[in-house]
Amino acid sequence: MQINITRKDAGLSDSLKAYIEDKVGQLARHYGKIIDSQVLIDLQGKELLVEINLRVSGHTLFAKDSGSNLRASLDSCVGKLEKQLHKLKGKIRRKALTPEEAVLSGKVNIGGMDEQEGEELTGPVLTLRPEETEMEPEQRTGT
């Protein structure tokens, strides 16, 4: 992951650059398909403004925070991006499996009984109708 850091009001010390790279680099643990990130630090009056743009495959995530402490604002932005990545990852996982694939993978049981222990399941259960589970061959009329 490439990290671009820009500070408009002053220079950037090596320790601050290492801190930013460490914090933003931790986001790759949550989602491995991060392409690049842009960190912008600006002084607006007496407040420091921190903006982070994160490009992931097919999406752009954004977090913004301002405060008197630069590191606290950066931590807040990273926390916001962690929540956004977690939400995005959940959406992608929900769209990834069709009902048939979920049953074949063993992540969803059919019916209301657990086959191994023979007791009622309390969580959500996917029930497929018989016409969805069996594929009938198409009847073709030819000439």
Q: What is the pLDDT of residue 1?
A: 82
Q: What is the pLDDT of residue 28?
A: 84
Q: What is the pLDDT of residue 108?
A: 61
Q: What is the pLDDT of residues 58-78, one digit of tens each?
A: 889 999 999 999 999 999 999
| The pLDDT of residue 130 is above 60 | no
Contact (Cβ atoms closer than 8 angstroms) between residue 127 and residue 111: yes
| The pLDDT of residue 133 is above 50 | no
- Tell me whether residue 135 is in a domain: no
Q: What is the pLDDT of residue 132?
A: 45
Please give the tally of structural domains in the chain.
Answer: 1
- What spatial distance separates the first Cα and last Cα of the chain, rounded to whole Å? 60
**Residue 40: domain span:** 2-96
Q: How is residue 34 annotated by DSSP?
A: E
- Tell me whether residue 88 is in a domain: yes
**3-state secondary structure (DSSP) of residue 99:** helix
Distance CA 35, CA 1 (A): 6
Q: How confident is the model at residue 95 (pLDDT cuts 50, 70, 90)?
A: confident
| The pLDDT of residue 129 is above 60 | no
Distance CA 62, CA 83 (A): 11
- Tell me whether residue 126 is in a domain: no
CATH code of 23's domain: 3.30.160.100
**3-state secondary structure (DSSP) of residue 41:** strand
- Tell me whether residue 102 is in a domain: no
- Tell me whether residue 85 is in a domain: yes
Q: How confident is the model at residue 57 (pLDDT cuts 50, 70, 90)?
A: confident
- Tell me whether residue 103 is in a domain: no
Q: What is the mean pLDDT of the chain?
A: 79
Regarding predicted confidence, which is higher, 54 or 127?
A: 54
- Tell me whether residue 111 is in a domain: no
Label the pairing between strands 2-7 and 47-56. Answer: unpaired
| The pLDDT of residue 51 is above 90 | yes
Side chain identity, residue 33: K
Q: What is the pLDDT of residues 4-14, one digit of tens each?
A: 999 887 888 89
Contact (Cβ atoms closer than 8 angstroms) between residue 61 and residue 78: no
Contact (Cβ atoms closer than 8 angstroms) between residue 25 and residue 38: no
| The pLDDT of residue 137 is above 90 | no
- Tell me whether residue 24 is in a domain: yes
Angle between helices 70-96 and 14-25 (to 10 degrees): 20
